[in-house]
Amino acid sequence: MRIENEKAAALIIDFQEKLFPHIFENTVVQKNVSRLIEGLKILHIPILVTEQYPKGLGSTIMPLKNILPGIESFEKISFSCCDDNDVMNAIQKLKRNFIIIAGIEAHVCVLQTVIDLIYTGFTPVVVTDCISSRKEIDKVFAIERIKKEGAILVTYESVLFELCRVAGSEKFKSISAIVK
C-alpha cells in the first residue's frame, strides 16, 4: 500500500513543555520530529497539532512551535484525538486517508488515536522514530500493539522519501538535505 502525497495528512500529538523533558530519548525524538515536519512542509502535507490539557502540561515545545508558524494547536482532554470533535472534524475535512502520526505518549494518546483512526476508516502511518513515552518499555509495547492493530509503521526518512517518490527534483534535494 503506497502512501501518496495527495492522500496524506499529518497529526503531531502532544509534544508539550511539561511532559517532554521526561520522555525517553527526548533529544533524538525532537530532532526526528523536527526533520519530519520540515519534510512534510516541503511536500505540502497538511499538518494538525494537538495539546493534551495544556493548562496542566503546557503548550507545544518551542522547537516545534518555531517550525510550525501559523498552525494552531487543538486543545483536548481525551486521550484519543478521535474523541475530540474539533480534531476529528479537522481530520475529516482534509479528506485524506493516510494520517502520518508523530507524538507522545506512544502507549496512551498515540495508541488510542491509532486504534480509533483505524476503526473510523483511516490508515494511520506511525513514524516509529517520532513517537516515545516516558519509559522505553511502554514505547516498545505500544509499537507492538499498533502493528497488530494494522497501522503502517515507518521511519521519518522512509515516509518522506515515499511521499517524494522521485529523485532529482527540488523537493528531493531539500528532503535529502534534511535527513543528512
Q: Which CATH number fits domain 5-175: 3.40.50.850, 3.30.1360.10, 3.40.50.300, 3.30.470.20?
A: 3.40.50.850
Give the pLDDT score at 70.
86
Give the pLDDT score at 136.
98
pLDDT digits (tens, 9 = 90+) for 110-160: 999 999 999 999 999 999 999 999 999 999 999 999 999 999 999 999 999
Give the pLDDT score at 71.
87
Does pLDDT of 1 surpass 80? Answer: no
What helix, strand, coil percent values describe the chain, rounded to 5? 50, 20, 25
Strand order in the sheet with 152-154: 73-76, 47-52, 8-13, 98-104, 123-132, 152-154
Domain boundaries, the chain: 5-175
**Cis before 105 (ω within 30):** yes
Give the pLDDT score at 168.
85
Give the pLDDT score at 72.
85
**Cα 24 from Cα 140, distance rounded (Å):** 11
pLDDT digits (tens, 9 = 90+) for 65-106: 999 988 889 999 999 999 999 999 999 999 999 999 999 999
**Cα 112 from Cα 146, distance rounded (Å):** 9
- Per-residue b/e over 164-177, b at no fewer than 16 CB within 10 Å? beeeeeebbebbee
Q: What percent of the chain has pLDDT over 90?
A: 93
Give the pLDDT score at 180.
86
Enter the C-alpha cell of residue 44: 505540502
β-pair partners for 20: none
β-pair partners for 98: 8, 123
Give the pLDDT score at 131.
98
Mean pLDDT (whole number) for 18-44 = 97
Give the pLDDT score at 141.
98
